[in-house]
Amino acid sequence: MRRRGKEAKQRYKTSPRRNAPKAAPNRRPIANSNEKIELLERRLNESLEQQKATSEVLQAISQSAFDLQSVFDTMVENVVRLCEAERGYIFRFDGKLLRLAASYNVGPEVKEYIHRNPITPGRHSIAARAAFERRTVHIADVQRDPEASYAHAMRNIELFRTVLAAPMLKGDDLVGAILIYRLEVKPFNDRQVALVETFASQAVIAIENTRLLNELHQRTDDLTEALEQQTATSEVLKVISSSPGELEPVFNAMLENATRICEAKFANLFLYENNSFRIAAQLNAPPAYAERWRRQPILTVSDNPLNPLTRLVATKSVVAITDLMAERGYIDRDPRFVALVESAGARSHLVVPMLKEGELVGAIVIYRQEVRPFTEKQIELAVC
């Protein structure tokens, strides 16, 4: 009985007293909560920054459909800033080499070195490795990477350390690469790696959109030019049918279409016979110049060796002159040349042969009063 009494008494002594003061609460959970709130706020700010940067890039893509440079410039600036890097590059792959397309915060010496040394896909540099292996490459310290010979070659120009590169891929096809780096050993985190990969995907989208829009633009131009050609032909045929036996209205219609299509100021039409050209029609010719041709309607080829019409006789092909002032005929003060330049104000000049079964029968001559060469498309339409 005594033993049980002692045991009960002992249990009673070791049990906590009901009225004992409570222990001070642990403050650590509150500290943890504050840390979590700060972490969430930091991640929210990073997410907002990323969304803003993405929006800026997409806006640049939408506003610069035919100007990839502005898209790349916006993209590389944002990726460097968001990833807390020092430098950034975008490379385009031309089928053999990675060539610099855009850079941010890069000195002229480094930029010049990269321009002079485009990168071959391989394992000698981080961008080359990302392109060669078609995967993102992240090197904590490139100076400890024995394969990065390209980086070691740049050591005398700039000593960079942590490098991240992501390939720009369209399916399995290499389009280019994005590379950023830090001048200290400080690896990029997972979010930053994912961000670079996102920008690489957006760069591919921008390139593809530009290609498609350029193709659409080219097709539209081709259709417009074809329509202009058909319209011009239709107008000439309409004049021919409405004026049978009358050449002057037909010639005028031809000159009107030629000057409109070629964006020229005025034009002449000549007929060729017996080694001479005779003026047959004029359109918008300056008065003094037109009057000269009325007084002297014939140009004899043998007497005018420097005249573009004489060159046409020898070649039977288009004669395109960028600036008549630079021609020998003007420099040597040939009277017809001087009158054409100084009285008529002609500068850029296009001579189109009129052929029948391979024989020269005439010429359409088109003039601009400024130095602006005719395009290949305009020449093609004028010949047709």
Ranges assigned E (strand) in 96-211: 98-104, 137-139, 162-170, 173-182
Whether 85 and 188 map to the same domain: the answer is: yes
Its pTM stands at: 0.50
Q: Is residue 378 a part of any domain in this protein?
A: yes
Using CA atoms, how far apart are residues 271 and 251, in angstroms rounded to an integer? 11
* CA 336 to chain CA centroid, nearest Å: 44
- The domain spanning residue 262 has which CATH number? 3.30.450.40
Q: Is residue 11 a part of any domain in this protein?
A: no
DSSP 3-state of 375: coil
pLDDT band at 44 (very low <50, low <70, confident <90, very high): low
DSSP letters, 256-302, are HHHHHHTT-SEEEEEEEETTEEEEEEEES--HHHHHHHHH--EEEGG
Whether 163 and 312 map to the same domain: the answer is: no
In 83-189, alpha helices (H) = 108-116, 126-133, 149-153
- pLDDT on residue 381: 72
Instruction: Provide the domain count of the chain.
Output: 2
Over residues 177-186, the mean pLDDT reads: 95
How far the first Cα of the chain sits from its last, in Å, is 130
| Residue 113 in this model has a pLDDT that exceeds 60 | yes
Using CA atoms, how far apart are residues 274 and 35, in angstroms rounded to an integer? 99
Domain range for residue 182? 44-210
Whether 70 and 204 map to the same domain: the answer is: yes
Whether 50 and 141 map to the same domain: the answer is: yes
Whether 257 and 171 map to the same domain: the answer is: no
- pLDDT on residue 1: 45
Q: Is residue 269 a part of any domain in this protein?
A: yes
Q: H or E segment at 192?
A: helix 190-242
Q: Is residue 226 a part of any domain in this protein?
A: no
User: For residues 79 and 196, is the Cβ–Cβ distance under 8 A?
Assistant: yes
User: For residues 179 and 93, is the Cβ–Cβ distance under 8 A?
Assistant: no
Whether 164 and 249 map to the same domain: the answer is: no
Angle of helix 68-82 relative to helix 28-63, nearest 10 degrees, comes to: 170
- Give the closest residue to 229 by CA, choosing from 192, 257, 187, 268: 257
Q: Is residue 99 a part of any domain in this protein?
A: yes
- pLDDT on residue 233: 47
Using CA atoms, how far apart are residues 267 and 86, in angstroms rounded to an integer? 60
Which residue's entry shows tokens 């290949």? 376
Whether 169 and 314 map to the same domain: the answer is: no
Higher-pLDDT residue of 30, 178: 178
Least confident of 15-29, 55-69, 148-162, 246-260: 15-29
Whether 62 and 187 map to the same domain: the answer is: yes
Ranges assigned E (strand) in the chain: 87-93, 98-104, 137-139, 162-170, 173-182, 266-273, 276-283, 298-300, 319-321, 349-356, 359-367
Q: Is residue 38 a part of any domain in this protein?
A: no
pLDDT band at 237 (very low <50, low <70, confident <90, very high): very low
Domain termination residue (choose one: 189, 210, 231): 210
* CA 380 to chain CA centroid, nearest Å: 26
pLDDT band at 55 (very low <50, low <70, confident <90, very high): low
Q: Is residue 304 a part of any domain in this protein?
A: yes
Whether 181 and 255 map to the same domain: the answer is: no
Whether 199 and 270 map to the same domain: the answer is: no
Q: Is residue 294 a part of any domain in this protein?
A: yes
Mean confidence (pLDDT) of the chain: 80
Whether 98 and 205 map to the same domain: the answer is: yes
Domain termination residue (choose one: 158, 189, 210): 210
Whether 378 and 313 map to the same domain: the answer is: yes
Give the DSSP letter of residue 204: H
Using CA atoms, how far apart are residues 105 and 76, in angstroms rounded to an integer? 10
